[in-house]
Structure 1
């Protein structure tokens, strides 16, 4: 079992406790059934002009990219590195190597995907992570992100970890294999032994997105003043990013239980994977100001009360989706309890926010045990035909798996159209 699950099923139960969402819609003349609205007076940005999209991924005037529609794909799998201790976060570095966080060891390592060599990160930042990170259950050293080359902190390393006073995001500079002293970006995120969220990623708009959990405190997800049970959108210094639904708040979306995957497709659509409790795990399209219903609804059935329904669901025994990546043809979720790479194919070339834009989920890569993270290979951009290369972290040494010789592993997965 991966996520802590309570004893009370909450599937298909919705209430009207969505005051923030209704207020956002009212500010722009939308009704309560339009959770994508943002308040008037919000700083204009491409993300808020069309709430289902981020900045255009191609220069203005060029054709917008489209998605590939592939009912089936084929996979080829090879080991890149072995012997990793409960790996959790995965991010590409500017030199073509990959940064990996080891949750319980409270360490960062660098993996060379060409040779499989694994090098430890040292320096004052590494000492801080080892000495100041709290582990236990799902807590520890979690998500990673690296500042994009055209952003405000190019090449800098951002980490999400559990500290004595809660979860937090820190940043530092990695020179070679030495990490500088770390400075805080976001602090005060609720923490617990489970439901810690932890995934962080830079969006196409250059801002940092932070996925948090409810830390076993159900009231936090619907409380706009709490950082728990949210997706946050901040600058590299931790300030609320321009264009947020509430200009004074880092909250981008709310009503989440435990988000552990964030990704964007080539059309700019934002997706997130989320642990359910007793009934449904979810894949969601994230819109600014959207309320995703927890704890009042799990799975579908909340749209009538102003909540945003997921576009795909799984029984909790079949998924526990952690990391997330998207290619030209589908979303790929790292399944922990489901022990599979979960594929949700795209069925419309221009995207969309409803379940009709997504095909039936598929379970792939079912012979490597628990999977924790998935990343598109930045050196091999996904092809227009749907081909792609993914890096996948297994998670069999995290205390809930059945380790095999060589676990845990970093895998290279080549995706090609079937046939």
Structure 2
């Protein structure tokens, strides 16, 4: 639909006058703007003009319906029931002549609180309204411009009122085990309390939602578990307003073994499919099992003792061994396992000698350069080639010389509090342009009240963290046991700092552009908000579940990695103001039909993913995965990810962080033991240097 700059200017001027009038006394203290940045749904929309534009606080953007469709509508979800007393509509030229403003508790039953057949467009400030609802809708029945090429178009849809319920329930009490089987666990817990009322409980294990019950039920069962496996269960409470409590304490349960005590048969016919100076491709005849094979492990016999050097997660009878030593003989055996952790006898040994010569593979040698007994999270390379890294649970920053292995704790970040899960000291970043002059370390961490971004100066002469220089840049990112995000990344030009956040285990946060959770954030280095941010706050993109990977390619484009729940993880190419679909859409699974949702560039089954850090070297994306215990290598071609390869499958266990090394290789960290409990000094993490080939 056409629009003129004059019409836009007039609308902006009228809107500004309306705001001034309201500030002068038309709006009472209880007359609060409720709708800005909230989730919004429309009957239709044009490609330029998505529904979210109507609640972004910017009259230069708009929602437009499909042309020549009567009726058409748009509604906003306020997140809780409110008493609505005023609605202000800022129309584009394609306004509504006849329309209703309606409220609803559930999007099914609507009550009109304003009706007109004489709408004239411009700014319509509808005062003296009276109605209560969580959802508010504008329902147009007759267009101002009735020719077939026109529809309805709103610059801004602003709902004002009072009430609501901002108070979350109290945390549920400590869960206890009712019963368990090899594939399920039933737990119970003391009730949460709420100022209005608890409407439901969400049951999680290890950050993954596994069951939901109503607010009067205090037991729940999670299914789909594996036998003889340890899980950490906890419960969150919800109320009708969508508030989510902090979590209950964690109940650790090891499921009993099944009655399957028959191991798979030994793999046979182990043979090579490829041999280079640094890699061996293996294949074998699949094992059989009375229930089913779930995976294989490849061992190298060193002085007669087996050392695991590879795996095949799943039933695929093949593996790729990487980062091997040239001109070296490996004595290889393969075993199979089932879900009850029964292990087959080993295959006959196969001796394979790597060829001599230089590496011709994408991934070459691996050298351990450091270790930590705490969770290694954020990592940066200083100009002299040494490393700083965060220890998540003990809240220290450590200086490591990768050439000598020497390390030193340079300081403890103040006001950090862990979450008995995955919160604590997370992101670490330096400005690639100004660090040599200003020495700021940019840090993301969980505090007693929230997640936040701070900066603290590093003194290179004293090799210490100058905690007295701390500046708090961003606060108010909600915290929970899991889903705290944490990754930081500067743009290559050093102008903007980006941060990945989690939804704090409340999916509603992800679609609310007034919330900083479930987002990619963008701020100036001093914490101020860039003038061109799409929602006039720190939010750059939204609809994310738990963002833990950010990286820029050679074109200056931002790629993002996020955890799915139980179906798939995803890699996204981030665009300004983009909506990536969570919680309706997990990867490409769920209710993904909304044209406003941006599809991921690659997805990963969670059993082969649960990926955290990413980096880009020579326009190749490297993805470090925890549950998947692997590193993905993916070539960026245009806006696609191609030639996806897997390295280190099971070789080093869980992988968390990957960063570029100054020699064109990468730093890679493990995340083994203690990475889900916030207990200091109970991990066994390694830091590797990985050299890269062609």
User: By the TM > 0.5 criterion, same fold?
Assistant: yes
In structure 2, the CA distance between the partners of 1:83 and 1:251, relative to structure 1 (3 Å rule), is closer
In structure 2, the CA distance between the partners of 1:239 and 1:406, relative to structure 1 (3 Å rule), is closer
In structure 2, the CA distance between the partners of 1:219 and 1:95, relative to structure 1 (3 Å rule), is same
Describe the SS at the equivalent of 2:585. Answer: coil
Pairing 1:328–2:626 present: no
Q: Which residue of 2 aligns with 1:365?
A: 648
**CA distance in 1: counterparts of 2:483 and 2:458, whole angstroms:** 29
Map 1:272-351 → 2, pairs under 5 A: 272-300=560-588, 302=592, 304-346=594-636, 348=637, 351=638
Q: Which residue of 2 aligns with 1:143?
A: 427
Describe the SS at the equivalent of 2:527. Answer: coil
In structure 2, the CA distance between the partners of 1:299 and 1:127, relative to structure 1 (3 Å rule), is closer
Greater fraction of residues in strand: 2
8 Å Cα contact 2:656-2:671 kept in structure 1: yes
Q: CA deviation at 1:399?
A: 3.8
Q: Which residue of 1 aligns with 2:513?
A: 224
8 Å Cα contact 2:658-2:669 kept in structure 1: yes
Q: CA deviation at 1:273?
A: 0.4
8 Å Cα contact 2:369-2:687 kept in structure 1: yes
Describe the SS at the equivalent of 1:82. Answer: strand
8 Å Cα contact 1:94-1:155 kept in structure 2: no
**CA distance in 2: counterparts of 1:145 and 1:186, whole angstroms:** 15
8 Å Cα contact 2:422-2:675 kept in structure 1: no
8 Å Cα contact 2:52-2:63 kept in structure 1: no
**CA distance in 2: counterparts of 1:311 and 1:299, whole angstroms:** 9
Provide TM-score, normalisation by structure 1. Answer: 0.75
Describe the SS at the equivalent of 2:443. Answer: strand
Pairing 1:20–2:52 present: yes
8 Å Cα contact 1:211-1:259 kept in structure 2: yes
**CA distance in 2: counterparts of 1:173 and 1:76, whole angstroms:** 35
Q: CA deviation at 1:30?
A: 9.9
Q: Which residue of 1 aligns with 2:669?
A: 393
Map 1:92-103 → 2, pairs under 5 A: 92-103=381-392
Q: CA deviation at 1:236?
A: 1.6
Map 1:215-254 → 2, pairs under 5 A: 215-246=504-535, 248-254=536-542
Q: CA deviation at 1:161?
A: 0.6
2:465 equivalent among 171, 176, 179: 179
Q: CA deviation at 1:136?
A: 1.7
Spell out, residue by residue over 1:300-321, the C-alpha distance to the aligned partner (whole angstroms, 9 max, x if none). Answer: 2736421100000001111111
8 Å Cα contact 2:428-2:488 kept in structure 1: yes
Map 1:376-387 → 2, pairs under 5 A: 376-377=660-661, 379-380=662-663
Map 1:24-39 → 2, pairs under 5 A: 27=60
**CA distance in 1: counterparts of 2:437 and 2:673, whole angstroms:** 33
**CA distance in 1: counterparts of 2:371 and 2:690, whole angstroms:** 15
Map 1:254-265 → 2, pairs under 5 A: 254-265=542-553
Gaps of 5+ in 1: 1-14, 34-39, 41-70, 381-387
**CA distance in 1: counterparts of 2:565 and 2:683, whole angstroms:** 32
Q: CA deviation at 1:16?
A: 4.7
Provide TM-score, normalisation by structure 2. Answer: 0.46
8 Å Cα contact 2:439-2:459 kept in structure 1: no
Spell out, residue by residue over 1:386-405, the C-alpha distance to the aligned partner (whole angstroms, 9 max, x if none). Answer: xx30001110033459xxx9
The alignment of Structure 1 onto Structure 2 pairs a total of residues equal to: 343
Q: CA deviation at 1:330?
A: 1.6
In structure 2, the CA distance between the partners of 1:112 and 1:303, relative to structure 1 (3 Å rule), is farther
Describe the SS at the equivalent of 1:81. Answer: strand
Q: CA deviation at 1:410?
A: 0.7
**CA distance in 2: counterparts of 1:308 and 1:298, whole angstroms:** 11
Describe the SS at the equivalent of 1:128. Answer: coil
Describe the SS at the equivalent of 2:627. Answer: coil
8 Å Cα contact 1:230-1:252 kept in structure 2: yes
Describe the SS at the equivalent of 2:414. Answer: helix
8 Å Cα contact 2:568-2:605 kept in structure 1: yes
Q: Which residue of 2 aligns with 1:7?
A: none
Spell out, residue by residue over 1:76-119, the C-alpha distance to the aligned partner (whole angstroms, 9 max, x if none). Answer: 11101123411111112233211100111111101112212111
Gaps of 5+ in 2: 1-39, 43-49, 67-154, 156-359
Q: Which residue of 1 aligns with 2:440?
A: 156
In structure 2, the CA distance between the partners of 1:28 and 1:166, relative to structure 1 (3 Å rule), is closer
8 Å Cα contact 1:393-1:410 kept in structure 2: yes
8 Å Cα contact 1:213-1:228 kept in structure 2: yes
Spell out, residue by residue over 1:238-260, the C-alpha distance to the aligned partner (whole angstroms, 9 max, x if none). Answer: 111232113x2111000000000
**CA distance in 2: counterparts of 1:90 and 1:148, whole angstroms:** 14
In structure 2, the CA distance between the partners of 1:115 and 1:204, relative to structure 1 (3 Å rule), is same
Comparing 23-32 and 300-309, the one that deviates more? 23-32
1:128 equivalent among 397, 403, 414: 414
8 Å Cα contact 2:375-2:393 kept in structure 1: yes
Comparing 82-91 and 20-29, the one that deviates more? 20-29
8 Å Cα contact 2:520-2:539 kept in structure 1: yes
